[in-house]
């Protein structure tokens, strides 16, 4: 196996993707200081799993990512890939892979990835892959100058790690550590098991007694249950008989009520009939009143119509003659208007026909003229235009020829003028040079200003990053306070819910507290009546024990009521402390212990409560002593002859008699909810204040950061402005430079060459223009010939064209006249139509008015007749209304008589309903008693009444049976507290005790097995280490003598303990006495360390060795010796050497050069020296 190549991207100074290929033998990596040579070694160390940023010369791991330069941006990640040739299957677990590829990536946000052969893996997988291969973390496969120094500067025990790696015992040591961890875990489990077994053993004795009592209770309860069933059946039968008799009485009353109801219905029908008749009368009265009103209105209307008829008749006779005269005038005007309209419409039709004919004629004439448009004159005009154009061109060209000849003559004069132009260009050149110099100076000034702004910008960025970190820390602090506040609030809400629901209490206690108002006299639970310092919570909780859920009552009657309630509802049990009967307990002997070390106080003195509760609280806490620690508690208990109950602050308990109890209770106990709620409310208030302060700090940090960001933005703006100025100056310099170069070129031109060139060009141009003149002369002759031919045929064409044009002009003139006349004719037609319509309307209105109103006397007679009929109908209505009044009064009298009978019905009904209500209440009461008995039967015996009748024994004397039942209940009560669960608990605890005892035996066996395994691994480590150490020792003697050309060296163990012994190095260079390493020179130490490394490599061959400037302390002779010694190894060893020493370079077969062409960015250059030499 050997290292084939590495690929590096973004790691430290390697910004670009860099591929480094390695051959077998010696490869040297050279380059100037600071070029990044050692970064290749660190990249290899990093990809092999190095976790220490310090070992990679960094403060934190993201420091290995390329940080950027002035010209290059920073990278967001670093990646190193190492390729290993595994064709010899050197790496275990990789037998199927000829090549093993290890990849490591790190992102700037802290995320990282490890890949093995392209698959994601863990860091530990990579460590395990190289363990005991000679490539592990503590191996000598990668050696820096500092590692060389550590070989002789480290302690013997630390130096041992090198030999353990070479011996291949690390995996055994790791397994031994894992086994020892398992052994410790097994011992912890064993200790816990023994505690549990001890506790279970102490539970078995009291459970045995409780179990016997529970069995006696079950016997008496079975007898009581049978007798209770018989009594309940007898009581139910008695109540049922009484219920049946009451139902018969109720049925009799119901029958009487039904008879009375039938009579009442007859009465109600008579009343209903009378009420219906009265309603009819009232309805008729209302109708007659409406008719009376309507006929009165009709009478008034008819009277007005008759009067209006008489008035209109007189007025109509006077205006009829006037309207007839107006109508005759309108008829005459209508006739004249109609005649005019008819004439105008006929004229419009004629004009429209003529217009259409003219449009058609104009179209035909336009077509004829279009065909005659190319007249001889047009043709002649076109030819004349062309002839004139040719004459103009001929004159122009002749003039140009004359000008060219003049310009040729003028060349000598221009040559003299050229000299003057050169002098002017030189003056411009000097001015441009001066402007260019000034622009360059301004550019340098601007660049310096930009550099200053960049420095300030970088400082601002750094300050902003620091402020952002301060802001983040302040926010984290604020979030911590917020999280703490939310936790407190959540805990407070939980405790408040618990306190309201009493869910932290035993079932019996919870039932009493939930029904305290119903029971009466209940003060509260002990745990809710105390307050104390939170630091005493554990001690008070242990001191109270189950007493924390005792219920304090005003007196014994309240306690009895509560017990009866629990027994009746079968809701459990509870212990009560009546204030009228409870006796307090005082502690004697306080003066003997109050000055002893660790004594805190009596438990009763550490709690606060109402004064009236003192006896109840002292009965629970009056004789309990609180001590700070178990050691001091033991001393105090011993001083009191173990006759006192002691509890420590951490919950350890020493009972009278000397028994101990302790361990770890559950966290977040809810025993003292009131105390914890009070403390939480204070903590919430404090947390809210801290949160407000923290929020202000965050706001302050944010404001400071915003100010910095504004300053940075201002600097950025100024920098951009300076960049713009810089660009402008660069552009100006570029333009001035171009002008300067152009003037140089102009100044250097030969005036004679320019004049000669112009002369040749003008001569050629004149020759061409003479040829063009000849062509123009030929075309002019052709045009003159064409003009003669056109003149001959022009007379006939002109006569026809003149005729058509005259006809077209006449048609267009007539068309315009017709269109104008038609427009006026249409306007007259529209006006006449409007007048005709208005006259017709006026005529119709006069005609309607002209018809005289026919005032028929028959209509007036009809109005008079209707008025008479209305007056008769009004008289009839008045008579009927008087009759209806008497009928209504008669019906009212009859209804009053029936009302007296109704009062008798009401009185009889009330008496019967009173009886009915009394019987119904009796039934309801009996029904309630039956239901209570039925519920008692269901709750106690879980059977129906029918099943109870079939199974219960018949009771002859119910009262005697009830008395016997009370006696049984007294016997059960005399048994005291009954723990029915004790029967199952005893069996469960006993079974668990037996099981755990068996588990204890298994753990002891496992412990012995682990101890045996550790001994076996220790033996293996000793053998391997001793074998490897002896081989390295002999090899070291040889390599030392070869490297120093003489001298003696030895390795010694600091003790006989092969598992822990350190390694001492003893050397004697040639010509010197045997001495320790500390007395040697730096070069001797380095050469000794290298001799040891080569000795180890002789014994334990590793695939490759990386040496980073390890020979820096050697002189040239020893460097050569070092290089020659590496060549003693065959090609099975691969050396990669970072160096700047010539002797080492001379020994290398391949060489890589590391350079920094760009600041901060490393580049690789490679060469095979063997091939180069050949």
Q: Give, in order, the Cα–Cα distances in Å from 202 to each of 188, 644, 983.
A: 22, 20, 16
Q: How far is the C-alpha of 80 from the C-alpha of 19, rounded, in Å?
A: 10
Q: Give, in order, the Cα–Cα distances in Å from 869 to each of 6, 299, 643, 659, 865.
A: 133, 9, 131, 129, 7
DSSP per-residue string spanning 137-151: TTSSSEEEHHHHHHH
- Check the annotation: does 1082 bind a ligand: no
User: Does residue 1109 contact residue 1139 with C-beta atoms inside 8 Å?
Assistant: yes
Return the structure tokens found at 723.
């960049």
Return the structure tokens found at 341.
């309209």
The sign one gets for the Cα dihedral 1163, 1168, 1169, 1173 is negative
Return the structure tokens found at 1145.
């370079």
- Check the annotation: does 39 bind a ligand: yes
**Residues contacting 296, CB < 8 A, separation 6+:** 874
- Check the annotation: does 332 bind a ligand: no
User: Does residue 957 contact residue 171 with C-beta atoms inside 8 Å?
Assistant: no
Scan for tokens 């024990």, then name that residue.
545
In terms of Cα–Cα distance, which of 1060, 1025, 1103 is closest to 166? 1025
Look at phi and psi of residue 805 and say left if phi exceeds 0, alpha if psi is from -120 to 50, else beta: alpha
Burial letters for 389-407: b for 16+ Cβ neighbours within 10 Å, e otherwise? ebeeebeebeeebeebeee
Q: How far is the C-alpha of 942 from the C-alpha of 935, rounded, in Å?
A: 9
Q: Which residues pair with 1051 in a beta bridge?
A: 1065
Look at phi and psi of residue 521 and say left if phi exceeds 0, alpha if psi is from -120 to 50, else beta: left
- Check the annotation: does 189 bind a ligand: no
Scan for tokens 């019967």, then name that residue.
912
The sign one gets for the Cα dihedral 743, 744, 750, 754 is negative
Crossing angle of the two packed helices 1116-1126 and 1082-1099, in degrees rounded to 10: 0
Q: How far is the C-alpha of 708 from the C-alpha of 257, rounded, in Å?
A: 99
- Check the annotation: does 206 bind a ligand: no
Return the structure tokens found at 133.
């291969």
In terms of Cα–Cα distance, which of 242, 166, 270 is closest to 1096? 166
Q: How far is the C-alpha of 1043 from the C-alpha of 1039, rounded, in Å?
A: 6
User: Does residue 401 contact residue 769 with C-beta atoms inside 8 Å?
Assistant: yes
Return the structure tokens found at 1032.
């390295």
List the strands of the sheet with 645-648, edge to edge: 599-602, 624-627, 645-648, 653-654, 660-661
Q: How far is the C-alpha of 543 from the C-alpha of 600, rounded, in Å?
A: 14
Kindly give the residue spans of alpha helices, DSSP state H, lying in 749-856. Answer: 751-792, 795-850
- Check the annotation: does 32 bind a ligand: yes
* Dihedral angle over CA of 937, 940, 944, 947, nearest 10: -100
Scan for tokens 């995320």, then name that residue.
111
Return the structure tokens found at 946.
């029918």
- Check the annotation: does 820 bind a ligand: no
**Residues contacting 518, CB < 8 A, separation 6+:** 565
3-state helix, strand, coil in the chain (%, to 5): 70, 10, 20
CA 387 from centroid of its chain's CA atoms? 91
Return the structure tokens found at 1080.
């040697």
What's the alpha-carbon Rg for the chain, to the nearest Å? 65
Pairing of strands 99-107, 77-85: antiparallel
Q: Which residues pair with 78 in a beta bridge?
A: 106
- Check the annotation: does 35 bind a ligand: yes
Pairing of strands 576-578, 551-553: parallel
**Which residues make up each annotated binding site for ATP?**
32-39
**Which residues make up each annotated binding site?**
32-39
């Amino acid at each position: 196996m050997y290292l084939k190549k590495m690929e590096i991207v973004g790691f430290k100074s390697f910004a670009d993707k860099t591929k480094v290929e390695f051959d077998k033998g010696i490869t040297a990596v050279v380059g100037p200081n600071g070029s990044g040579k050692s970064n290749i070694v660190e990249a290899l160390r990093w990809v092999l799993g190095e976790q220490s940023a310090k070992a990679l010369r960094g403060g934190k791991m993201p420091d290995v990512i390329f940080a950027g330069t002035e010209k290059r941006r920073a990278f967001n990640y670093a990646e190193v890939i190492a390729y290993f040739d595994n064709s010899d299957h050197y790496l275990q677990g990789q037998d199927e892979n000829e090549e093993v590829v290890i990849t490591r990536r790190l992102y700037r946000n802290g995320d990282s990835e490890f890949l093995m052969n392209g698959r994601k893996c863990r860091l530990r997988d990579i460590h395990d892959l190289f363990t005991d291969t000679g490539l592990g973390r503590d191996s000598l496969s990668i050696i820096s100058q500092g590692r060389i120094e550590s070989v002789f500067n480290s302690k013997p025990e630390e130096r041992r790690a090198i030999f353990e790696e070479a011996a291949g015992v690390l995996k055994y040591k790791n397994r031994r550590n894992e086994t020892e961890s398992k052994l410790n875990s097994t011992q912890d489990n064993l200790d816990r098991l023994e505690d549990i077994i001890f506790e279970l053993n102490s539970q078995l004795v009291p459970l045995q007694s409780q179990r016997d009592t529970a069995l006696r209770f079950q016997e008496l309860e079975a007898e009581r249950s049978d007798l209770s069933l018989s009594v309940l059946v007898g009581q139910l039968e008695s109540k049922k008989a009484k219920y049946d008799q009451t139902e018969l009485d109720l049925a009799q009353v119901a029958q009487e009520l039904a008879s009375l109801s039938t009579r009442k219905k007859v009465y109600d029908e008579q009343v209903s009939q009378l009420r219906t008749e009265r309603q009819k009368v009232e309805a008729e009265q209302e109708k007659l009143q409406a008719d009376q009103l309507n006929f009165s209105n009709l009478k008034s209307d008819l009277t007005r119509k008759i009067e209006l008829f008489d008035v209109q008749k007189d007025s109509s006779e006077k205006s009829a003659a006037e309207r007839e005269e107006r109508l005759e005038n309108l008829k005459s005007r209508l006739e004249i208007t109609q005649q005019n309209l008819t004439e105008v419409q006929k004229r419009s039709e004629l004009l429209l026909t003529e217009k259409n004919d003219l449009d058609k004629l104009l179209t035909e004439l336009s077509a004829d003229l279009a065909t005659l448009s190319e007249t001889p004159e047009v043709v002649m005009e076109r030819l004349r235009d062309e002839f004139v154009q040719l004459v103009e061109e001929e004159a122009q060209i002749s003039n140009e020829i004359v000008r060219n000849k003049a310009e040729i003559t003028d060349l000598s004069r221009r040559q003299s003028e050229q000299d003057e132009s050169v002098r002017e260009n030189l003056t411009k050149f000097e001015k441009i040079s001066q402007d260019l110099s000034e622009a360059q100076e301004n550019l340098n000034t601007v660049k310096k200003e930009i550099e200053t702004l960049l420095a300030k910008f970088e400082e601002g960025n750094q300050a902003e990053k620091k402020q952002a970190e301060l802001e983040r820390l302040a926010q984290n602090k604020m979030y911590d306070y917020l999280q703490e506040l939310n936790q407190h609030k959540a805990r407070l809400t939980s405790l408040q819910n618990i306190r309201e629901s009493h869910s932290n209490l035993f079932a019996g206690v919870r039932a009493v507290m939930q029904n305290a108002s119903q029971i009466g006299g209940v003060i509260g639970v002990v745990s809710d009546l105390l307050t104390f310092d939170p630091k005493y919570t554990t001690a008070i909780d242990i001191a109270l024990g189950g007493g924390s859920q005792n219920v304090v009552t005003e007196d014994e009657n309240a306690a009895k009521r509560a017990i009866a309630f629990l027994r009746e509802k079968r809701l459990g049990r509870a212990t009560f402390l009546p204030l009228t009967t409870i006796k307090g307990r005082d502690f004697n002997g306080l003066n003997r212990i109050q000055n002893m070390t660790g004594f805190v106080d009596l438990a009763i003195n550490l709690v606060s409560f109402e004064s009236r509760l003192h006896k109840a609280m002292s009965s629970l806490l009056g004789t309990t002593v609180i001590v700070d620690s178990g050691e001091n508690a033991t001393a105090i208990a011993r001083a009191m002859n173990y006759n006192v109950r002691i509890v420590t602050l951490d919950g350890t308990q020493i009972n009278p008699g000397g028994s101990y109890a302790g361990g770890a209770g559950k966290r977040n106990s809810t025993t003292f909810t009131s105390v914890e709620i009070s403390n939480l409310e204070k903590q919430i208030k404090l947390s809210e204040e801290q949160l407000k302060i923290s929020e202000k700090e965050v706001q302050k940090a944010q404001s400071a950061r915003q100010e910095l960001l504004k300053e940075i933005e201002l600097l950025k703006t100024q920098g951009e402005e300076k960049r713009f100025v810089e660009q402008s100056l660069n552009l100006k310099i570029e333009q001035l430079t171009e002008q300067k170069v152009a003037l140089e070129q102009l100044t250097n031109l030969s005036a004679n060459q320019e004049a000669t060139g112009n002369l040749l060009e003008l001569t050629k141009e004149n020759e061409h223009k003479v040829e063009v003149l000849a062509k123009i002369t030929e075309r002019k002759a052709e045009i003159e010939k064409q003009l003669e031919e056109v003149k001959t045929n022009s007379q006939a064409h002109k006569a026809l064209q003149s005729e058509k044009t005259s006809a077209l002009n006449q048609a267009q003139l007539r068309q315009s006249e017709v269109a104008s006349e038609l427009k006026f004719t249409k306007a007259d037609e529209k006006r006449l139509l409007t007048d005709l319509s208005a006259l017709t309307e006026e005529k119709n209105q006069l005609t309607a008015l002209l018809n005289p109103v026919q005032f028929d006397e028959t209509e007036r007679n009809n109005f008079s007749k209707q008025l008479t009929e209305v007056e008769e109908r009004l008289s009839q209505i008045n008579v009927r209304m008087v009759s209806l009044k008497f009928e209504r009064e008669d019906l009212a009298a009859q209804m009053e008589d029936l009302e007296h009978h109704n009062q008798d019905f009401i009185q009889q009904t009330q008496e019967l309903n009173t009886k009915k209500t009394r019987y119904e209440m009796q039934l309801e009461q009996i029904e309630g008693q039956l239901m209570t008995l039925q519920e008692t039967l269901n709750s106690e015996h879980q059977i129906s009444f029918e099943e109870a009748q079939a199974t219960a024994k018949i009771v002859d004397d119910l009262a005697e049976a009830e008395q016997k039942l009370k006696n049984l209940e007294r016997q059960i009560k005399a048994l005291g507290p009954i723990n029915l669960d004790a029967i199952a608990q005893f069996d469960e605890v006993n079974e668990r005790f037996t099981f755990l005892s068996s588990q204890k035996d298994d753990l002891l066996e496992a412990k012995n097995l682990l101890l045996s395994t550790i001994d076996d691994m220790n033996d293996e480590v000793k053998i391997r280490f001793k074998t490897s150490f002896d081989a390295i020792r002999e090899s070291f003697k040889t390599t030392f003598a070869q490297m120093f050309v003489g001298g003696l060296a030895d390795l010694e163990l600091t003790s006989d303990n092969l598992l822990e012994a350190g390694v001492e190095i003893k050397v004697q260079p040639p010509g010197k006495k045997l001495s320790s390493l500390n007395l040697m020179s730096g070069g001797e130490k380095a050469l000794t360390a290298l001799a040891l490394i080569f000795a180890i490599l002789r014994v334990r061959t590793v695939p490759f060795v990386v040496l980073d400037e390890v020979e820096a302390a050697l002189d040239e002779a020893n460097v050569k010796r070092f290089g020659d010694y590496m060549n003693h190894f065959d090609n099975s060893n691969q050396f990669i050497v970072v160096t700047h020493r010539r002797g080492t370079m001379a020994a290398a077969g391949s060489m890589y050069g590391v350079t920094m062409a760009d600041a901060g960015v490393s580049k690789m250059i490679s060469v095979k020296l063997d091939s180069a030499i050949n």
